[in-house]
Amino acid sequence: MDKISIKGGLRLNGRIPISGAKNAALPLMVASLLTDEPLILTNVPQLADIVFMADLLRSFGVSVDWKPGTKLGEGGTYRLQADRVRGSTAEYDTVRKMRASFFVLGPLVTRLGLAKVSLPGGCAIGARPVDLHLRGLQAMGATIDLAQGYVIADAPAGLTGGEVVFPTVTVGATENVLMAACLAKGTTVIVNAAREPEIVDLGNCLTAMGAKITGLGTSRIVVDGVDRLHGATHSVLPDRIETGTYAIATAIAGGEVELTNTSPDLVASLLDVLVLVGAEVSSTGTGFKVARDGFHPRSVSVNTAPFPGFPTDLQAQFMALMTIAEGSSRIRETIFENRFMHVPELIRMGADIKVEGDSAIVTGVPKLMGAPVMATDLRASSSLVLAGLAAEGETIVNRVYHLDRGFERLEEKLRGVGANIERLSA
């Protein structure tokens, strides 16, 4: 099993190109099930989760052709065509590898009238139940049964538009219902819809395919169902979590790095906090720059929240930054109930962190010390890499397969701006 070695203490300087967003690409790939014409996606990152999704779609008879990008940060192109969909069952052995596999439920039931999808697996960061996905489809007329670990959604006459009211903001369920509503009869109103950029990106692609959608980026999305969708070409938006991670990397290591192929608007809540921490942020023509001189960052408390609030997917990385900040900060996690698993590993590196319920109290220390640590999930693994950039000595991050699920060519991008980082093969 591969490991990553980081020898810390080096400032970062240069340019990092940002890849396409995994969390946008996955539902976009699933949207190919809604039409028999080709859907062409560009700027798709080359990641393990993307490969898993391509395999899942192939199991339904979707034709999947892939052409890789030719340079760092340039995504690949996927051509997907579901003109011969066979079967409506997503088997456990495929779905267990990745929670995003559950996205096929809505498109399959709205197109075929039936879907049987295994309950999902994925990162162990809380229960993350799928009940809101199911309630949304039920509001559109689907009959839902659970049997032997599978969800069976049945709508032999097709789905019918209705009002879907989410009691809490949910990204995945918003995306699943949004896709299903495109081919439903009548109008669907999604109330308390998630507002994340990835949902807007999915909606824009569906619109290009012929869907009638209004309200994207707001908490109320209205979808007027159409008889069929057609093919389209769509470029996946930049990855805001990768963008934020490298912005924090610059703040923790010091130096000046320009992030290209991205937008500061995607991570505005983070950049506001980084300015309070003491970093300088400036827009450029193709992205933005982050700079921090040699002084210690200042402690700033944050609460995670749905977009446009501070992202839960940047909480672990920001905590790594706070471990070397002056003073104490409180980081409150409001989205997932089990997302402090990186805390014991940061403590192994000398961090002073105390967990109190849904909050972590972080008191900055003068320096971290390199140590062998273990990644527990995707975002936790990136926080350990960032801590290693600031630590004295060598940090060895184990179980980096988590990183490969969400960060494209991370070591190469960080080496390009001066980090001493390499992958160690088992």
Answer yes or no: is 201 a known binding residue.
no
96 and 149 Cβ atoms separated by less than 8 Å:
no
Answer yes or no: is 3 a known binding residue.
no
Structure tokens that stand for 369 in this block: 């010390």
Answer yes or no: is 131 a known binding residue.
yes
Answer yes or no: is 22 a known binding residue.
yes
Answer yes or no: is 132 a known binding residue.
yes
Top CATH class, 26-235: alpha beta
User: What's the chain's length in residues?
Assistant: 426
CATH topology of domain 3-15+238-424: UDP-n-acetylglucosamine1-carboxyvinyl-transferase; Chain (3.65.10)
Question: Does residue 205 carry a catalytic annotation?
Answer: no
pLDDT in tens, 62-74: 999 999 998 888 9
pLDDT in tens, 323-367: 999 999 999 999 877 778 899 999 999 999 999 999 999 999 999
Local confidence band at 241 (pLDDT 50, 70, 90 cut-offs): very high
pLDDT for residue 291: 97
Q: Edge to edge, what strands does the sheet with 163-165 contain?
A: 163-165, 187-191, 220-224, 212-214
Average pLDDT over residues 91-96: 80
The beta-strand segments (E) located in 47-172 are: 63-67, 76-81, 89-90, 114-118, 143-147, 150-154, 163-165
238 and 266 Cβ atoms separated by less than 8 Å:
yes
More confident residue, 280 or 125: 280
Answer yes or no: is 130 a known binding residue.
yes
φ, ψ (nearest 5 deg) of residue 413 = -65, -40
pLDDT for residue 23: 95
pLDDT in tens, 7-29: 999 999 999 999 999 999 999 99
Average pLDDT over residues 382-401: 95
Query: Across the chain, how many H-helices and E-strands are there?
Result: 14, 24
405 and 13 Cβ atoms separated by less than 8 Å:
no
pLDDT for residue 205: 98
Structure tokens that stand for 264 in this block: 């500061």
Answer yes or no: is 128 a known binding residue.
yes
pLDDT for residue 376: 81
pLDDT for residue 124: 41
79 and 65 Cβ atoms separated by less than 8 Å:
yes
Q: Edge to edge, what strands does the sheet with 280-283 contain?
A: 12-17, 255-260, 287-292, 280-283
Local confidence band at 125 (pLDDT 50, 70, 90 cut-offs): very low
Answer yes or no: is 354 a known binding residue.
no
Q: Which residue has the tokens 């999902």?
A: 120
Separation CA 182–CA 70 (nearest Å): 35
Domains in the chain: boundaries: 3-15+238-424, 26-235
pLDDT in tens, 193-225: 999 999 999 999 999 999 999 999 999 999 999
pLDDT in tens, 163-189: 999 999 999 999 999 999 999 999 999
Structure tokens that stand for 325 in this block: 């900040």
Candidate list 6, 31, 109, 123, residue with the active-site label: 123
Answer yes or no: is 129 a known binding residue.
yes
Under 8 Å CB-to-CB from 328, ≥6 apart: which residues?
A: 299, 361, 362, 363, 364
Separation CA 89–CA 83 (nearest Å): 17
Separation CA 379–CA 358 (nearest Å): 17
pLDDT at residue 126 above 80?
no
Answer yes or no: is 96 a known binding residue.
no
pLDDT for residue 93: 80
